[in-house]
Amino acid sequence: MITQDLRQKQGTGLVGSGKMCIICIDIEKDKLTLKEARRNFGEMSNSLGDHAAEVEEMLSKMEIEESLREYLEYLEEVKHNESTD
């Protein structure tokens, strides 16, 4: 959802600059997991210049979205288990 929103908002890809780093490209193509993207970002953030802030924001939003999705799944599981007890 975050990557789709960012693509639509920016029109050209994941970031507003029109330039995409390998992390953005691989996230967009679903070739990296979020964990892999975060690790790669840690290794190359210094070389990204101003783009690093955009990648950090994108990864943070994706992590929040993933956490919320997992929490909602947990709540559904708890609700289901309570109804069967």
pLDDT tens digits, 18-68: 667 999 999 999 999 999 999 999 999 999 999 999 999 999 999 999 999
Q: Which helix (H) or strand (E) holds 5?
A: helix 2-10
What is the separation, in whole angstroms, between the first and last Cα of the chain? 35
State the pLDDT confidence band at 83, using cuts at 50, 70 and 90.
confident
Chain centroid offset of residue 76 CA: 23
- Whole-structure pTM over 0.85, yes or no? no
Torsion of CA 76, 77, 78, 84, to 10 degrees: 110
CA distance 20 to 34: 17
